[in-house]
Amino acid sequence: MEMNLRTLPLGVLGTALAVAGLVAYSLAPEKLWLVTVVEGLALVCLVAFFIVHFQSLKSFSSRRSTRLGANSLILTLLLVAILAIINFLSARHSVRWDLSENQNFSLAPQTHRVLRSLPRDVKVTVFTREKDAGYQSYKERLDSYRQASPKLAVEFIDPERQPKAAQSYGITRTDTAIFESGTQTVRVTNPSEAELTGALMRVSRDEKKRILFLEGHGEHSLTDRERTGFSSAKELLIRQGYQIDSISLLSQPSVPDGTAILALAGPRKPITSDELDRIRTYVDAGGRLLLMVDPDTQADLSPLLSRWGLGLGPGVLVDLQDRLAQGDLTALLVRTFTEHEITQDLNAAVLFPLARHITFDEQTGKDWDYVPLARTSPNSWAETDLKGRVVGLNEKEDIKGPLPMAAALAPKAPPVEGKPRPGIVIIGNSTFATNGFVNFPGNSDFLLHTTGWLAEDRELLAIGPRDQALRPFIPNPIQERTLLYVQVILIPALLCMIGLTVWRKRRRL
């Protein structure tokens, strides 16, 4: 028996089984029983090897050359053990640093909120090839997503090598990602963070909150793709997981149940008293209202707004400080925000072309919390004479700033569990959300922040991730003049003075 065991290569067999077990675990970690059997057999073989060859190993270890080489072997094994432990810890507690200039590989805080609040597992299948343009972007971003949430599983498939899988998903182009969760499926063809996060939100929620836009009074159309249309705003909201539709209260007896937000996007024609009553009834029942009203409109909303103490000031806002440089005096570049849930994460200025200000009567609206969200600078006013050329403040006719151009309204009474809580946001401009302006960085953020607060999506509030890109510095007129004086006059003058000083010192040598 001993001779048979000695002739068997137990050491080689045990080592081979141990390596095979490690390989099996790396390839199929779910088949733990197979790995256990293989590693158990490896242990048996190695123990038997040491028992059978105990005398040979003992005599070998007593040699002088063995003792001298033992130190090197121990040090080598110690180094391997240290590296194995470091690798083990780094694999389970990895830390990443984003050293890129624009933080291209860091997820937005809003994306982290969505990943933390995932209600169930999500599978992402990306059909792309390594040579495709979107492969690296998909891989880098989804790796960050996967590290932030254990509920996300990502698989990359080459449609050329696995045509049946591509055919089963109906893939007709590469660089396409399929998000799956429960019964929901969402398809993405752009590896931007905004698209990926939007798809993640949509696929992980069975119910979508509904936003209805009032129509029939010259409002911006949701299907219009021209500069004055709202098609881009519609697509932006859909990507955030909302269901967007339009409604006419001339034909509807009331605002439908289940409406998360009723929006009025720049009405130009008069709104009937019946429609105003239906809007008022909707808000009184706990509805959420978004009003975007431009200056110089025939849509008189005073009967509706006065109930809550709100009003729309006359004229057009003019700001000599916070405005678009080289632009019209009425092209406001708003940088002053009040502390509120809507404005808490706003980092970019909001461009309001041709806006009006908001008023509030504290006596009439004593039951409401009024928060002005955005204000003009102290060097501003409401210009009431629109016929002449705007050149300065007329203290007799105009209204001195700072003036609010957007405000939020919420009941002072504490919320009652199970009862909807009304809310109103009024903005003295609707053009900021049109196709021509909504892609301005601050405009899209402000729109998404506002709808997130009105829809009471606390975990989705302020989600507007966008591709990291070079953001141009947009100075206001004061900053523009300062840069002109410093770059064109001050710096060249200093260089000339330094040059003359050096020249004079050298002549004296």
pLDDT of the residue at 63 = 61
- Residues 6 or more apart whose CB falls under 8 angstroms from that of 81 comprise none
Nearest to 104 by CA among 482, 470, 487, 489: 470
CA torsion sign for 27, 30, 33, 39 is positive
pLDDT of the residue at 83 = 62
Nearest to 355 by CA among 411, 296, 422: 296
The H or E element that residue 407 is part of is: strand 404-411
pLDDT of the residue at 223 = 93
Nearest to 423 by CA among 260, 269, 264: 260
Contact (CB, 8 A) for 189 and 173:
yes
- The amino acid present at 348, given as its one-letter code, is A
Which portions of the chain are predicted below pLDDT 50?
A: 1-3, 75, 78, 85, 88-89, 92-93, 101-102, 461-470
208-454 domain in CATH 3.40.630?
no
pLDDT of the residue at 3 = 42
- Residues 6 or more apart whose CB falls under 8 angstroms from that of 224 comprise 230, 231, 435
pLDDT of the residue at 220 = 94
Beta bridge partners of 369: 410
- Residues 6 or more apart whose CB falls under 8 angstroms from that of 396 comprise none
C-alpha neighbours within 13 Å on the C-beta side of residue 266: 19
Cα dist from 309 to 181, 302, 346, 361, whole Å: 45, 10, 27, 5
C-alpha neighbours within 13 Å on the C-beta side of residue 261: 28
CATH architecture of 109-193: 3-Layer(aba) Sandwich (3.40)
111: three-class secondary structure by DSSP: helix
pLDDT of the residue at 57 = 58
Q: Do domains 109-193 and 208-454 have the same CATH topology?
A: no
Task: Give the phi and the psi of residue 366 in degrees, each rounded to 5.
Answer: -65, -20
**CA–CA gap between residue 98 and residue 105 (Å, rounded):** 6
Q: Which residue has the tokens 């840069």?
A: 483
Domain ranges for the chain, please list them: 2-92, 109-193, 208-454, 477-509
The H or E element that residue 153 is part of is: strand 152-157
- Residues 6 or more apart whose CB falls under 8 angstroms from that of 71 comprise none
pTM of model > 0.85: no
Alpha helices in 241-331 (DSSP H): 273-284, 302-305
